[in-house]
Amino acid sequence: MSDDTQQKGKTGAADGVPENNEQVQKERNARILKQLTEELGISMKQVTTTVGLLDEGNTIPFIARYRKEMTGELDENQLRDLDERLRYLRGLEDRKAEVIRLIDEQGKLTDELRASITAAGKLQDVEDLYRPYRQKRKTRASVAKERGLEPLAEWLLSLPRSGDPVEQAGRYVDAEKGVPTAEDALQGAMDIIAEHVADDAKIRAWVRRYTWDNALVVTEAKDAQQESVYEMYYAYSEPMKRLPPHRTLAINRGEREEVLKVTLEVQQPERILEYISRQVLRNRDTVAQEPIAAAIADGYKRLIAPSIERELRGELTEKAEEHAIGIFAANLRNLLLQPPIKGNVVLGVDPAYRTGCKLAVVDETGKVLDIAVTYPTPPNNKVAEAEATITRFIEKHKISLIVIGNGTASRETEAFIAGLIAKLKGKHELQYLIVNEAGASVYSASKLAAEEFPDFDVAERSAVSIARRLQDPLAELVKIDPKSIGVGQYQHDVASKRLEESLGGVVESAVNHVGVDLNTASPSLLSYVSGVNATTAKNIVKYREENGKFTDRSQVKKVPRLGAKTFEQCVGFLRIREAANPLDNTPIHPESYGVVDKLFKQLRLELSAIGSAELNAKLRSLDAETIAPQLGVGVPTLRDILDALQRPGRDPRDELPPPILRTDVLSLEDLVPGMELQGTVRNVVDFGVFVDIGVKNDGLVHISQLADRFVKHPLDVVAVGDIVTVRVLEVDHKKGRVSLTMRSQEQS
């Protein structure tokens, strides 16, 4: 067991800080609050209040929506940044306390060292300071110390002006201890010096900075004859500090798959040796200059360089992962907030070749009405039979929309559906849409899907999921592990725990932004509501099934294991469409119902006027800053109340453009350069945007073709789900690739 592990087991304080030491805790908290204020550029009052709200167990969506006065209207992104940094800084303080304790127990803690550790701003700085005192596995230096050679190393480091190092080393010759010659003794002392230099926090910090600024990431192929997706990296180099995140992750994957060999090549490494020599060899007249210079060179090459390379590549990877997670999170949010297409009976089609296309008909509420399997695609080609089955469904259920998953056999199925629509034109008005089915197979094979549809097979569940994605993307996509939704880049190459945390926060944010229908929401959807966990979500649904629909928000208090705190956090995000109190179908929190009552008395109107032109006209004429003091409420909260009253039952997704519905199919052969099309953004990555224009493969708009101006990142211009107008630049029929542009004709 390591020293660290043993000591962790002994400490009584949960965070490594001595128990009952209020002064230490106060100083620690003050440092954290000060650093948060400086880093985030917000006031000390905002930081202190927000930290207090988080520590009380309030969720970020709740704080962002219902505690604006207290936080100075910090938005959700600012709150998440603060929460993340708060957790990091608290962890940093815990580690500082632990390191101070561990060094103190060795009897080596000085006031200067304690101050340096306390002032450290990053975990890496703390670890550098702790490095000389950390228990190490057996090293050349530790062996030399065991052989009694530390005094010789200390003599050399004292920079003596006289004496002979070899002669001095001769005093330590002891064959029984494993030091048969003076040269062996001198080498052992040099090993100790090399480790001493490598453990010096100041030296490591300087070398780390220099390497970051002056190193190239160099990649080469392990087998130059091997064909792979990494061929551009077979003989490649780029300054480390300028390596883009997506290339970092691509190189890492190539190395992991043993296709690439990756090294750091430091420019002018002699400058590093010169710097270390200046720190150690302050007296150049010493007789120890030669052995110390040799020890410095050895310490850098054998100990410092490999260690710094690992650290910097780890830091580079961490930054790249954070960037990739950020892209994935932005794409996921936009996908989750796609506008639902309401009021349609929908036919969902999960396409396939040999096993056939699975069909599922769902009504306007998502209830499954019919399922079947047809075989219109190769190798079966039972087109007439498939047409008969689908036509029967159309007539029986009054289907108006057909949704096709974009997986295997998608385009062949699309051609079949488009042909059928043409045949039925005049008799039935039909449109179709291809949706991204990423994650549908994961969901359909899950325990959740089995509970929801115990009598359906996996493919049938997938067809239902595809149909429902059109009706309410958010409600359906929350059933799927966010990592499986497929709207990022290199999501399989990033830290899964961090990705899970980030994407979970995105789903939580999207669900609470939209609000949840208390009487129709699934446990999956409810579990993302502020303050509600999976168990509580199931209890809500169970209560609803046993007692009938909720008619009043206050009934939620009767749900088993849903306490007062959970009620406070969740109730504002729950909607009851046909509630006796119309406020229950708005994002107005019950704690503000009294404010609304006062407002309506001033206006001399009843709550039944909500949604009327008369009320909306009066509300638009009000000045929130003037009447907020009269109503005893903060201005930000009153603004939200006035907005909610003017748009009861509002779904923010309805304000976005609906997806493109089609009636005919487009093939790669139909495309010619210059053709203008409308398409849907399917994915945004660092180097461009993939757009569904209705052909087999999505077209790519390279970042250089996104606008007439310079674009730093594609997310600055477009988002997943956007409807965009593009022109065809080039069609590669052999590879099935389409290059598109969004630039004006004169500029492209």
Both 118 and 156 in a single domain? no
Both 320 and 410 in a single domain? no
Q: Domain containing 464 — which CATH number?
A: 3.30.420.140
Q: Before 379, cis peptide (omega within 30)?
A: yes
In a domain, 494, yes or no: no
Q: Domain containing 564 — which CATH number?
A: 1.10.150.310
Q: Per-residue pLDDT averaged across 335-349, rounded? A: 92
Q: Domain containing 194 — which CATH number?
A: 1.10.3500.10
Q: Per-residue pLDDT averaged across 198-204, rounded? A: 96
Confidence grade of residue 16 (pLDDT, cut at 50, 70, 90) = very low
pLDDT at 5 over 50: no
Both 217 and 293 in a single domain? yes
In a domain, 358, yes or no: yes
559-601 confidence digits (pLDDT tens)? 999 999 999 999 999 999 989 999 999 999 999 999 999 999 9
pLDDT of residue 513: 95
690/564 Cα distance (integer angstroms) = 46
Confidence grade of residue 136 (pLDDT, cut at 50, 70, 90) = confident
Residue with more model confidence, 723 or 436: 723
Report the C-alpha dihedral over residues 49, 50, 51, 56, rounded to 10 degrees.
Answer: 90
Both 176 and 294 in a single domain? yes
Number of folded domains that form the chain:
5
Q: Domain containing 718 — which CATH number?
A: 2.40.50.140
Both 114 and 163 in a single domain? no
- The burial class, CB within 10 Å (0-12 / 13-18 / 19+), for 205 is middle
- The burial class, CB within 10 Å (0-12 / 13-18 / 19+), for 548 is exposed
In a domain, 453, yes or no: yes
Confidence grade of residue 11 (pLDDT, cut at 50, 70, 90) = very low
Indicate the pTM of the whole model: 0.84
DSSP code of 304? I
Both 278 and 196 in a single domain? yes
Residue where a domain terminates, one of 133, 162, 190: 133
Residue with more model confidence, 557 or 696: 557
Name the token pair of 246. 């997506």
State what percent of residues in the chain have pLDDT above 70.
96
Both 306 and 263 in a single domain? yes
Task: Name the 3-class secondary structure at 403.
Answer: strand
Both 372 and 251 in a single domain? no
Q: How many CA atoms lie within 13 A of 1 on its CB side?
A: 7
Q: Per-residue pLDDT averaged across 643-669, rounded? A: 84
Nearest to 516 by CA among 611, 582, 584, 452: 584
Confidence grade of residue 747 (pLDDT, cut at 50, 70, 90) = low
In a domain, 83, yes or no: yes
pLDDT of residue 14: 38
pLDDT at 445 over 80: yes
Tokens 């080393």 sit at which residue?
169
Phi first, then psi, for residue 517 (nearest 5°) are -75, 110
* Range with the largest mean pLDDT of 261-275, 471-485, 647-661, 692-706: 261-275
pLDDT at 20 over 70: no
713-738 confidence digits (pLDDT tens)? 999 999 998 999 999 999 998 888 99
When mean pLDDT is compared across 40-49, 316-325, 479-488, 587-596, the lowest value belongs to 479-488
In a domain, 476, yes or no: no
pLDDT of residue 746: 66
Both 282 and 354 in a single domain? no
602/112 Cα distance (integer angstroms) = 66
122/376 Cα distance (integer angstroms) = 61
pLDDT at 87 over 90: yes
Phi first, then psi, for residue 84 (nearest 5°) are -65, -45
Both 388 and 424 in a single domain? yes
Both 83 and 226 in a single domain? no
Residue with more model confidence, 314 or 485: 314
Residue where a domain terminates, one of 133, 164, 191: 133
Decide if 187 contacts 313 (C-beta within 8 A): no
Both 105 and 149 in a single domain? no
Residue where a domain terminates, one of 471, 494, 516: 471
In a domain, 529, yes or no: no
pLDDT at 7 over 70: no
pLDDT at 664 over 90: no
pLDDT of residue 748: 55
Q: Per-residue pLDDT averaged across 647-651, rounded? A: 88
Q: Domain containing 77 — which CATH number?
A: 1.10.10.650
**Secondary structure (DSSP) of 597-658:** HHHHHHHT--GGGTT-HHHHHHHHH--HHHHHHHHT--HHHHHHHHHHHHSTT--GGGGSPP
In a domain, 523, yes or no: no
Report the C-alpha dihedral over residues 506, 508, 510, 511, rounded to 10 degrees.
Answer: 160
pLDDT at 4 over 50: no
pLDDT of residue 19: 46
- The burial class, CB within 10 Å (0-12 / 13-18 / 19+), for 273 is middle
Confidence grade of residue 119 (pLDDT, cut at 50, 70, 90) = very high
Q: Per-residue pLDDT averaged across 14-32, rounded? A: 73
In a domain, 490, yes or no: no
| Containing structural domain, residue 587 | 543-649
